[in-house]
Amino acid sequence: MHELGLMDAMLRVVKRVCEEERLERVERIVLEVGELSGVEIPYLYDGFRAVAHGTEFEGAELAVETVPGVLHCIDCDIDFPLKDQELFCPECFGKNLSIKSGRDMTLKSIEGN
Ligand SMILES: [Zn+2]
């Protein structure tokens, strides 16, 4: 499961931030996940529970915010939102596309004290 590895890596970043910010207790971790990242959000919650189990992060709340996917048609030079997973340009119906946003998973914020 790909998401388990992602959460493992994410938790390592959280740990480092906690050390830097001297946070003793993390209450909430907010992630931004792009619609085009290929990440299955339900698996993120499962992955988080698995990697946080038995650590100081067990019991922290994980919140996931989705970032809309935006595509760019190279032929028409326009940007358009991803809709219904249809991967073609609404103008020319072409597939000469690049991803403008929504490809990444990022750690948005950590709340704690
Ligand atoms: Zn086009």
Please list the pLDDT of the chain residue by residue as tens digits (113 residues): 589 999 999 999 999 999 999 999 999 999 999 999 999 999 999 999 999 999 999 999 999 999 999 999 999 999 999 887 778 999 999 999 999 999 999 999 999 98
- Distance, CA 77 to ligand 1 centroid (Å)? 7
What's the gap in Å between 70 CA and the centre of ligand 1?
13
CA 6 → CA 20, 32, 45, 59, 63, distances in Å? 21, 13, 11, 19, 15
pTM of the model: 0.83
Ligand 1 centre from 108 Cα, in Å? 32
Nearest to 61 by CA among 52, 69, 70, 73: 52
Distance CA 6, CA 111 (A): 20
Q: Compute the distance from residue 88 Cα to the ligand 1 centre, in Å.
A: 8
For residue 43, the CA-to-ligand 1 centroid distance in Å is 34
pLDDT for position 18: 94
Distances (CA, A) of 75 to 55, 83, 92, 100, 102: 50, 19, 8, 14, 21
Nearest residue to 57 (alpha-carbon basis) of 106, 20, 18 = 18
Q: Is 63 helix (H, G, I), strand (E, B) or coil?
A: strand
Distance 2 CA to ligand 1 centre (A): 32
Task: Copy the structure tokens of residue 101.
Answer: 């946003």
Distance 68 CA to ligand 1 centre (A): 19
Distance from Cα 36 to the centre of ligand 1, integer Å: 19
Can you give the pLDDT at residue 1?
58
For residue 106, the model assigns a pLDDT of 94
Indicate left, alpha or beta for 63 from its phi (over 0: left) and psi (-120 to 50: alpha): beta
